[in-house]
A and B are shown apart, each in its own frame.
Chain A
């Protein structure tokens, strides 16, 4: 297992360079001029434009820019980061030609001069909170729905689960998001009974506002309630179906029959023998999905104005903020790699027939 882990972690390196390179080139190839985009409708002096282009190395060839961004090529701009507080106070000129990129821990800056690491630090907690809530929602409800449908195949519950999940899967997430917003507005405008209004008070938000509350506090759950449901709905449907199929497959398995023949209670047979085996593929899916939820929240975050990673990445693409897009995507690649590794290790733990060596 130790050797396997080392090998897997070493595999991170080529994947990481390959993925960042491809994304860098894609951002570079985007048509349009980021400086003009920054100026917008207002006129900008050619001298200012030229200065900005130089400052952000926009005139360099793509490969050189990638090298500078990574930190394997020296940056020809002054680099105040290497100075200590005392040196800065003493007015020492920042040196040029230092290596100042991702490998040195510098994600770069956007065109306003805000460090990308600050943007990441601000947005990751929001998106992570949203992802964790969506994950909890889809995992608990999806498995429960799948178990009830699978144990009673072709029953009313089973058909309900099957029809509702296929609906969720076939409707695009933005339609679900806007649909939920419309439903909430309709509910608020209707003359619903007072107890229902007070019960739902604070839960049904069509736009997210930063509650600045610790995660898992009631205020934070209320604020993320609707976006998390919308974000988790698609995976919820997949998990319910996966659990159901896996359960039905194992329900007729010999070892379940053995468990019954051993004189075990129905509940012990279902939980210890049937579920333990049926949830292996579900756990695998959930692990991968945690990465998907982090990166896939762009649509949901945009609809509900959650100023998280997805929202920021969309703005970054619109404004051609290459450093922002790259910084976020680098982080997401890392999350995906780690999630995959964790799933593989978990898989070996859940199914003793899998061995890595």
Chain B
């Protein structure tokens, strides 16, 4: 690698802070200015990610979890999308301070993104191998070396006879294989952070498990930090170390995975738990969360979950609850988090 030599001591030529977390997202806000008004997709989101850790970001459609990923990657369509506040630091280097050229050095090489639907995320008119090796070729790797490395990557993600598959087009791959190829592409430059945006949503259940397993394996092998964006509590349980629950562009709860499952500290998380089928609770009727997710162009005042919350009080309609540490290692943005825990 020539011009964009990857040094472990710098990010895009800026010296790193060795004590800083791998990825530090602080008070991130993203809005979309549309003809129909301003849509607040992400509202003051903060989280940290350590090397070797898997952080799950959990939320339903429209909770801003994918926009968050795009903002961290720096690929929000602008206009209409604008980052209005906050910072994203990679090893202490603020990515929003970087020039576009420096930012580009970070994308793909220091952090990469695995998209939800590999069929649309891969370019239909180029071969899979070409698209993987492109990442290396644009960074000065020779054609033959890039091809060799791409085949190696394809083998690593478990694609049989990768040498022949190199020249296949995306539509000639099965859904699971496409997602594997997508994963291979994201690992091509050995990134520090991989953001997987609903990586298994478009796949069959059996293939889902295989792909999740592969991701977990590769994460250990490459010792990278992984952000797993999903709406699927089941997926989270198997691989994540920590969970951030998002609602209406904000985090409402953050916890270690097991303690969260044991006892949610936010009514929304509780609602989510009740709405998924569980093997140990056969015969119990599932309870959906009543109502619709809020319109991000008109988020209700106070706690944004108040219209759907079964415990909502007057204070919830007026005051935005602070995101605070309720118990050691447990964060919640509910006025009544303690009461909720005691009640259960």
Contact = CB atoms under 8 A, between A and B. Distances in A.
Interface string B316-327: 000000000000
B86 to A, nearest CB: 20
Nearest to A259: B123
Interface stretch (A2-10, A108-116, A263-271): A263-271
Contact of B123 (A252, A255, A260, A265): A255
B107 A261 contact: yes
A136 interface: no
A351 interface: yes
Tell me if A's interface is mostly helix, strand, loop or mixed: helix
A265 B108 CA distance: 12
Given A259-B123, A277-B125, A353-B124, A252 B77 contact: yes
A277 B124 contact: yes
Contact of B138 (A252, A253, A263): A263
Contacts of B125: 276-277, 280, 350-352
A296 B138 CA distance: 45
B138 A352 contact: no
Contacts of B104: 263-265
Contacts of A261: 73, 75, 107-108, 112-113, 115
Interface in B111-129: 112-113, 115, 117, 120-125
A350 B125 CA distance: 7
Contacts of A351: 124-125
A260 B121 contact: no
Nearest to B117: A254
A350 B124 CA distance: 10
Nearest to B109: A263
Contacts of A259: 123
B105 to A, nearest CB: 7
A254 B182 CA distance: 12
A140 B107 CA distance: 34
B171 A353 contact: yes
B185 interface: yes
A36 interface: no
Residue in A255, A264, A265, A350 whose Cβ sees the most chain B Cβ within 10 Å: A255
Nearest to B73: A261
A273 interface: yes
A260 B74 CA distance: 9
A263 B105 contact: yes
Given A258-B115, A263-B107, A264-B138, A273 B121 contact: no
Given A258-B115, A353-B169, A263 B108 contact: yes
B134 interface: yes
B107 A255 contact: no
Interface string B179-198: 00000010000000000000
A263 B98 CA distance: 14
A273 B139 CA distance: 17
Nearest to B122: A255
A262 interface: yes
Contacts of A276: 123, 125
A351 B73 CA distance: 30
Contacts of A277: 123-125
Contact of B107 (A252, A262, A273, A280): A262
A294 B122 CA distance: 39
Interface string B28-59: 00000000000000000000000000000000
A37 to B, nearest CB: 56
A174 B70 CA distance: 52
A248 to B, nearest CB: 12
A254 B120 contact: yes
B299 interface: no
B138 A260 contact: no
B162 interface: no
Contacts of A263: 104-109, 135, 138-139
Nearest to B104: A263
Contacts of B115: 254, 257-258, 261
Contact of A262 (B77, B134, B169, B171): B134
B72 to A, nearest CB: 11
Residue in A262, A277, A352 whose Cβ sees the most chain B Cβ within 10 Å: A262
A262 B120 contact: no
Contacts of B135: 262-263
Contacts of A257: 70, 75, 115, 121
Nearest to A252: B77
Contacts of A280: 125
Contacts of B113: 258, 261
A252 B75 CA distance: 11
Contact of A260 (B105, B107, B139, B169): B107
8 contacts: A252-B77, A254-B121, A255-B121, A258-B113, A258-B123, A263-B107, A263-B138, A264-B134
Q: Which 3 residue pairs are nearest across A and B when measured between Cβ atoms?
A: A263-B108, A263-B107, A254-B120
Given A255-B122, A258-B123, A264-B138, 10 more contacts: A255-B123, A257-B70, A261-B115, A262-B185, A263-B105, A263-B108, A263-B139, A273-B123, A352-B171, A353-B169
